[in-house]
Every structure is written in structure tokens, then in C-alpha cells.
Amino acid sequence: MVPVLRTIVGLFIGGLGARLIGLLGRFHVGPSSGPKKTSRRSFTRNAALGAVGVVLAETAGAFVWFFWPNKTGAFGSDINVAAENIPAIDAPPFRVAEGKFFLVQNEDGLLALYWKCVHLGCTVPWAANENLFHCPCHGSIYNKNGERIAGPAPRPLDLMTVRVGDGGNVTVDTGAISTRSSYQPEQAVPYSA
């Protein structure tokens, strides 16, 4: 809802709330004062408070909606990679931005490499001219299997879980990330399209 429309709705609902409070007040009979009437001042005050309350509630709702994690097809959930996007063994890694990983195929199978540098967390790009992953922050360098070959990184890039489905399509669970101290062939998931 656009802000102006939200404010108008808030004022409208706040006004209705204030009118309702006023009507209830008229029917309320106190012990000594008889039926109460709502003054113009209290009506205006109630309307303003109601409008402010509704606008605040709308704002809070929009805030929660905006920041609530969307677990479908986003980082932290399963990400599908179509068979036609699976890189060949000698091809560069396939970058999947929404999953924050590179999909690599070597002689042993597929690896999904989490692109977060294991040194201090920078995003590590694939440097095509070097045929390596090269972190821009402090110079850590990883080969295509994610093994550290230079720089301050203490271990290889982390791995995400890979599942091969029908027709050669692949699913990467970006919520299942594991660390390792070296590359082992069994880390790769055998693949044939």
C-alpha cells in the first residue's frame, strides 16, 4: 500500500474507531453524572490517536512483511539449477546469485561452493583470466575445487549439499553448508546429464 493511501486508510479507520468510542460513551451511565456526551475536543483527540495507532500498526506490519525471510528459492533454502546450466568439466563455474554459490563440475562430479571467503567473509568472485577464485579483500586464492592455494584463508571454500534429480537437474540446499580441511573426491556428487 502506498504511504498516502495507507495514511488515508489510517485516518478513516481511526475516525471510525473514535466515533465508536464516542457512541459507547453516550450509552455509558455513571453513578451520578447521567449519560455522558463526547465533546468535540475528545472526539478529535480520539480520532487523531486512532489514526496514529493504525498508521503505526500498518508501518509495523510492513516492516515485518519486508524483513520476514522468504524461504522459497532464496539463500537458505533449496535452489534448483536446470540441467542446461550445469557446467561441463572443463567449463568455468556456474554462478548462482540467489544461492550465493558457484556450481563446479570436476572429474569426480559436482561441487556447490559457498562464495563466502573463509578468511573474513568477503564474496569471492571467479577470476576467469586466472582460472581461479580470487578474493578481492586480502588476496586469498582458491582453485576450481575451492581449495586454498594462496592467501590468509585457513581452509577451502565451504560446500553446500547437492542433489541430482530427474533429467540432470540439480538442487542445491543452501541451508546445508559444511566446512572441510581439504578436497576429497567423495565431496563431489557424481553427475551425468
Query: Taking a C-beta distance cutoff of 8 angstroms, is the pair 105, 191 a contact?
Result: yes
Give least dist CB 58 to ligand FES, A: 41
Give least dist CB 95 to ligand FES, A: 17
Minimum CB distance to ligand FES smaller for 9 or for 137? 137
| Site for ligand FES, residues 99 to 158, rule: CB under 6 A | 117, 119-122, 135, 137-140, 151-153
| Site for ligand FES, residues 55 to 94, rule: CB under 6 A | none
**CA separation for the pair 146, 68 (Å, rounded):** 32
Give least dist CB 111 to ligand FES, A: 19
Q: Which residues bind ligand FES (CB under 6 A)?
A: 117, 119-122, 135, 137-140, 151-153
